Amino acid sequence: MPLRVGILISGRGSNMLALAEYAQQDDVNADIALVIADKPAQGLDHASQLGIETLLLDRADYQNRASHEAAIINALDDAEVDAVFLAGYMRVLSADFCHHYEGRLFNIHPSLLPRHKGLDTHQRALDGGDREHGCSVHLVTADLDDGPVLIQRAVPVLADDDAETLAARVLKEEHIIYPMALGALAAGLLSIDGDQITMEIGELPGRINGVDAPLSWPA
């Protein structure tokens, strides 16, 4: 059975698209079962165009975070997802939500964690005089951007960079390592059991745009 994946978005969903296009390859044993947005989002249209089921659960329609998260959990559980990937989901999730999907909830963060948790990571990297910057795929826990890091990719910070140019270069790397994490999970090269994270060395299935196959895991 393919790995069933739910994705949460808040905007255009570029990382969602990277995951979906990777998962739709015949040799990748994964299926994007559902994409949920917490507000009207361009990414829902993109997902629909790929034939993926979508759902808008607008947080403005709910009295509080608890009722909104309950609706998301019900939708994901009804879709029988095995894993949940956050792809530009701009809402801090409660401890209860994180515990419900413990070991199955993933995020892509635009910095080399543990450096620059939270927002405005590119400007903070520039302000801090960082010589390199990048992105991290990590497990989500109740503490913001504090879960175990699974894979990272770095880019140099150039002398003429501003936050926009640096962000664009990092985003290209996000579109590589997030599908890599999905591929490793689907192929059994990445397994999570409570606090135990196991990574086996192997080749990932499929191709990721702009990167020659085969890709090796861990990177």
Residues with active-site annotation: 109
Interatomic CA distance for residues 218 and 206, integer angstroms? 15
**Mean pLDDT, residues 19-36 taken together:** 97
The domains of the chain are located at 3-217
**Mean pLDDT, residues 154-163 taken together:** 97
At residue 211, the pLDDT reads: 82
**Mean pLDDT, residues 32-54 taken together:** 97
Q: What is the CATH topology of the domain spanning 3-217?
A: Rossmann fold (3.40.50)
Summarised one tens digit per residue, pLDDT across range 83-95 is 999 999 999 999 9
At residue 213, the pLDDT reads: 72
**Mean pLDDT, residues 200-211 taken together:** 90
- Cite the DSSP H helix spans in the chain: 14-23, 42-49, 65-78, 95-100, 121-127, 163-187
Question: Is the pTM here over 0.85, yes or no?
Answer: yes
